[in-house]
Amino acid sequence: MDTPYLHMLSNPQLENPIFVQGLPGFGNVGHIAAHLMVKFFDAKLFAELYAPTFPDYISITPKGIAYLQKYDFYYAQTGKNNIVILSSDTQPSLDDVVAHYTTCDEVLNFVESLGCKFLVTMGGVPITEDKAEIFVAATSNRLATEFMEKGGVIYSKGRIIGGTGLTLALAKERNIDGACLLGTTLGFKADSDAGFLIFKFLMNVLGEEIKEEMLKEDLMPEQ
């Protein structure tokens, strides 16, 4: 395999789906938030993206099964939205700039083919004091304002590293609207609190109801 390869498991019929991306990074916030969405919606895996630019190691399941690093695409059809969720515990190396551009382009080519016209990327932003906030960047002033009015804080520090930022910026070049949500984290370990905060914020933006008694422990994977 010398080029990215998309393996389709099924072909769901989706109308104007919203694309949501959660990749590993600071505090693993984006990946945790994407996992919460998959579990909350009982989303179905329908496609897998493999690439030779992913890390050169394999992962082993609790049952001892080996598998290549990949991007998993899930879909959910709710009463209000059709949603495509990208969840993965891998990214190309931060040192491999070309790989990031290539992979993000492959992702956008795929979701565009599904009819996605709006996307949200999710990640973490490191802080030095424990303060729970959600920073927002967007493809337009209008969207940035809308997300700020929902409780986000405009992110004005200049850089978002990796696919979390690059997917958003490349989407803007394709005239795809979108926003990036960054949960504050100390970043020393997987931050389930920050991931759950991003999850709840996005569910509110999408108009999806979450029961008050729901706890992040109900959605987090078993250890």
More confidently predicted of 214 and 194 = 194
Structure tokens, 123: 């990640």
Contact 18, 161 (CB under 8 A): no
Letter for the amino acid at 68? L
- For residue 66, the cross-strand partners are 60
- The mean pLDDT value for 2-15 works out to 91
d(CA 143, CA 84) in angstroms, rounded, equals: 20
Structure tokens, 168: 């958003």
User: Taking the CB of residue 187, how many other CB atoms lie within 10 A of it?
Assistant: 18
* Domain positions in the chain: 5-208
Nearest CA to 114 out of 223, 219, 7, 14 is that of 14
DSSP assigned state of 17 = P
d(CA 89, CA 72) in angstroms, rounded, equals: 9
Instruction: For helices 29-41 and 192-206, give the axis angle rounded to 10 degrees.
Output: 50
Task: Tell which CATH classification among 3.40.50.620, 3.40.640.10, 3.40.50.1000, 3.40.50.10900 matches the domain 5-208.
Answer: 3.40.50.10900
**C-alpha dist (Å) from residue 118 to 11, 50, 168, 171:** 20, 24, 10, 9
pTM score of the predicted model: 0.92
Torsion, CA 113, CA 180, CA 39, CA 28, rounded to 10:
120
**CA-based radius of gyration for the chain:** 16
| pLDDT tens, residue by residue, 162-211 | 999 999 999 999 999 999 999 999 877 899 999 999 999 999 999 887 76
Structure tokens, 167: 């997917």
| Band of pLDDT at residue 17, cut at 50, 70 and 90 | very high
Answer whether residue 213 shows pLDDT above 60: no
- For residue 22, the cross-strand partners are 87, 122
| pLDDT tens, residue by residue, 62-107 | 999 998 999 999 999 988 899 999 999 899 988 888 889 999 999 9
